[in-house]
Homo-oligomer: A and B are copies of this chain.
């Protein structure tokens, strides 16, 4: 089924940042031969999961994916589960909260509820974050397979701020700590003056499917606020996991 792997891998390359690809471009990105890439694309086009702009010849995701998402959402609702929890998080902590989805080694925020404060952290729907520097990414990775972790490490850990952890050994140590504690407190690893706390959300198979997180400016991230946010996030994530069918003891804190 290596052909199938390749085909779905192609789908993974389409992102918010790059929603369109030329043929050669996609072949280069994926590492597949141009001829193979084209054949794979044609197969996907046949089923409406890819479409081609007839004027620019560029390939993009097709309408078929909308149907799939709709089926998935009505049968096993994600937004319906996550949104009320986000609302509650914002109500309790007064800071922006968001839910990020882990899929194909990428982490992207899909649900966002912002704080009503004027100095708040803002997120963009679907924005992709660095998996090794955002709190959501780190908690997901901590509970992922070793292969996933190695995959991230082999490309090197890009530094976003002076606090970003770029040393592989140190990074692994941090992941171990996250596994023990069940959450991660992020002090400006990704962006200056932004701190956040995230906890993983598991599915029925106990695999991390994403994370709930609350982010605040460093100035409002005192130890009191930190404790409050931590318990709120941890409990919300546990509730989400339970809603997705995971069995969580819920009393780790």
Contacts and interface: CB of A to CB of B under 8 A. Distances in A.
Interface in A53-68: 53-55, 60-68
Chain A interface main SS type: mixed
How many protomers of this protein does the assembly include?
A: 2
Nearest to A206: B54
A3 B4 CA distance: 6
A11 to B, nearest CB: 6
Contact of A16 (B40, B51, B71, B108): B71
Given A4-B7, A43-B4, A47-B8, A63 B101 contact: yes
Contacts of A52: 205
B60 A69 contact: no
Interface residues of A, number: 61
A66 B78 CA distance: 9
Given A1-B7, A60-B76, 17 more contacts: A1-B43, A4-B4, A4-B7, A4-B43, A4-B44, A11-B68, A19-B75, A19-B76, A53-B245, A54-B204, A54-B205, A55-B204, A61-B71, A61-B75, A63-B72, A67-B106, A71-B126
